[in-house]
Amino acid sequence: MIFESLDLNSDILDALYDMHFEQCTPIQEKCIPEILKGKDILGVAQTGTGKTAAYLLPILSKLADGGYPEDSINCLIMSPTRELAQQIDQAFQGFSYYLNGVSCVAVYGGNDGNRYDQELKSLSLGADVVIATPGRFISHISLGNVDLSKVSFFILDEADRMLDMGFSDDILTIQKKLPKTCQTIMFSATMPKKIEELAGTLLKNPAIIKLAVSKPADKIHQIAYVCYETQKMAIVKNIFKANHLQRVIIFSGSKQKVKQIASSLNQKKINCGQMHSDLDQAQRDEMMFKFKSGQIDVLVATDILSRGIDIDDITMVINYDVPHDAEDYVHRIGRTARADRDGVAITLISDDDIYNFQQIEKFLGKEIEKVPLPEGIGEGPEYKSNGKRRGTSAKVRRRKARDQQSHKDKKVRNNKKNNRLQSAIAEPTGKKTSTNAQDTNENKPNEKKSVRNKYRNKKDLPTAIENKQNRDQNKESDKGNMPNQRQKNNGNVKSANNKAKSQQYKNANRDADTKQVKHNKKKTKKKQNFVEENNPRRSTKYEIKNEKSESRLKSLMKKPLKWLSKFGKK
């Protein structure tokens, strides 16, 4: 079906024409007319089928036609991840290019204060469309920043992923604050029991639209390597040697493995980046921009990128770990062969993951081609399982990853300690043994000589029989010299002990003298303080008066003497 045959706004059709969108996908063909009628929708379709446009186009058409309150939130779209929220926002900007008066804001965590102020202003002024992650939106609701009393459309994108991430309670709390007349639309890639229960509580007489659930595209060439865990990195490096690959995503089950894989690929000078939950939002945005713009050839990621990320030119997807659910496998390999292009999906199956991969093959209804291991890597395990799922719990997987990482960290620390100890030991002993080294080096063969010279020198060395005879003679001579040596040693020991004792006595006497001197000084200081405290102090006024009186007496005594001296002269 062509988009022009649908009852959409003319401005939206102009935007679709400029974006070269002409034909509807099956999910768009079935969902758009039902949404325009105002019905609740439960859409189930695999990833990459155009679900985002299936709900954005009819909602934008309705908002452009008018009849909705201004300065209020009219549409709320919930997304499980920040990356998907950003992608929906970008699609909205393209579809609403020719629309006037329709605003949109993306609300998600991991941003700075300026971004938070922008979100707060947009929510308070009433943006027409709000695209949000559940955790961040709940925080705005708890702070009283959001008014949901006039919302007309409530959309859950990738609902099964949100339930897996534990957002079911948040979705229910948001739904309780919405008006009863709100139109609810739910899209999911899978249809487990949890989705059916959530749909029963949220939707009212919904139109259920199901397509081929969780089936990968036919243009994806799927192959697998059965190998041990230690052989995986060698296989990945061999894949990059054989082909000049530029647009590759490598999926791993844990962020610790993602870091290890990225570091080892960077050591091999492969232009590689990493995407996991330890990165903040600015780092995530920068990494996605570099990968989309071609600055990075390979991106190693967790399942963050397995849902809803639309990059058309990915040529290969490598599953470094086998996913534990068949749906996750389909979502991962669904990143390639998009927009009618070809793609390759390679899975590395360890001996612990054989049972999980057999379940994936049962789900897909076909057996995936097993490729022999490259030369020089060795042989892999047999593709047989015990019929038991090993290491299924997330707790066991996290513990195993932590143990592996901590074991490697311990090795690094121990190596560093040993190197420090060896360097510390080598510095002092190097000076002492410098004289002895010359003697020993004369006896030892030169290390720089070739192997032939070593064998030549062996001819000049004494034979094993002569060595035995020399050893026996040395033993007998040692036995004869033993008593004399013992006497000498005893004498040396006694003299050393006497010297040590005399030195101890001297040190003890010195310590006693210094202690006595300190004690006497303290006593004299105490006596002086005591005398000064007992004698009352006199002010300086009295001292000045005494000095004046003494000077007067001296002057009186001198006057008669002067007079007598004058009298004698006369």
Distance (Å, rounded) from C-alpha 303 to C-alpha 135?
19
Distance (Å, rounded) from C-alpha 315 to C-alpha 249?
9
Tell me how many degrees the CA angle 286-290-296 measures, rounded to the nearest 5. 135
Distance (Å, rounded) from C-alpha 384 to C-alpha 404?
26
For the chain, what is the mean pLDDT?
78
Q: Are 40 and 183 in contact (CB under 8 A)?
A: yes
* pLDDT band, residue 129 (cuts 50/70/90): very high
Query: Which run of H or of E encompasses 242?
Result: helix 232-242
Residue 274 has φ and ψ, to the nearest 5°, of: -135, 145
Distance (Å, rounded) from C-alpha 45 to C-alpha 53?
13
Distance (Å, rounded) from C-alpha 124 to C-alpha 422?
66
Q: Are 220 and 377 in contact (CB under 8 A)?
A: no
Mean pLDDT across 84-103:
92
Query: What are the structure tokens assigned to 304, written together?
Result: 């963050």
pLDDT surpassing 90 at residue 304: no
Task: Output the pLDDT for position 422.
Answer: 75
The share of the chain scoring above pLDDT 90, in percent, equals 39
Residue 191 has φ and ψ, to the nearest 5°, of: -130, 65
Task: Output the pLDDT for position 523.
Answer: 59
Distance (Å, rounded) from C-alpha 205 to C-alpha 41?
9
Query: What are the structure tokens assigned to 24, written together?
Result: 């509807």
* pLDDT band, residue 446 (cuts 50/70/90): very low
Q: Count CB-CB contacts under 10 A for residue 125.
A: 12
Q: Backbone dihedral region of 560: left (phi > 0), alpha (psi from -120 to 50 degrees) or beta?
A: alpha
* pLDDT band, residue 436 (cuts 50/70/90): very low
Write out pLDDT tens, residues 481-504.
Answer: 555 555 545 555 556 666 666 666
Distance (Å, rounded) from C-alpha 259 to C-alpha 250?
12
Residue with tokens 């199901």: 210
Torsion angle of alpha carbons 465, 466, 472, 476, nearest 10°?
160
Q: Tell me the residue length of the chain.
A: 570
- Beta strand segments in 17-132, E: 41-44, 75-78, 104-107, 129-132
Write out pLDDT tens, residues 182-203.
Answer: 999 999 877 778 888 899 999 9
Classify 221 as helix, strand or coil: strand
* pLDDT band, residue 217 (cuts 50/70/90): confident
Of 76, 42, 343, the closest CA to residue 185 belongs to 42
Distance (Å, rounded) from C-alpha 547 to C-alpha 538?
14
Beta bridge partners of 273: 299
Residue 100 has φ and ψ, to the nearest 5°, of: -115, 135
pTM comes to 0.58
Write out pLDDT tens, residues 218-227.
Answer: 789 999 999 9
**Residue 299: how many CA atoms within 13 Å on its side-chain side?**
29
Instruction: Flag the least confident range among 52-66, 136-150, 164-178, 461-475.
Output: 461-475
Distance (Å, rounded) from C-alpha 329 to C-alpha 306?
9
Q: Count CB-CB contacts under 10 A for residue 556.
A: 8
How distant, in Å, are the alpha carbons of 106, 462, 485, 486, 488 from that of 476?
94, 21, 14, 16, 19
Query: What are the structure tokens assigned to 10, written together?
Result: 């003319």
pLDDT surpassing 80 at residue 561: no
- Give burial (CB, 10 Å; 0-12/13-18/19+) of 113: exposed
Distance (Å, rounded) from C-alpha 538 to C-alpha 532?
12
Query: What are the structure tokens assigned to 336, written together?
Result: 């390639």
Mean pLDDT across 129-150:
94
Query: What are the structure tokens assigned to 386, written together?
Result: 């015990």
Please give the single-letter amino acid code of residue 508.
A
51-65 vs 82-95: helix crossing angle, rounded to 10: 50
Residue with tokens 């609740």: 40
Per-residue exposure over 82-98, b if at least 16 CB sit within 10 Å of its own CB, e if not: bbbbbbbbebbeebbee
Distance (Å, rounded) from C-alpha 127 to C-alpha 19?
25
Write out pLDDT tens, residues 17-40.
Answer: 999 998 999 999 999 999 999 999
Distance (Å, rounded) from C-alpha 234 to C-alpha 245?
16
Between strands 248-251 and 183-188, the pairing is: unpaired
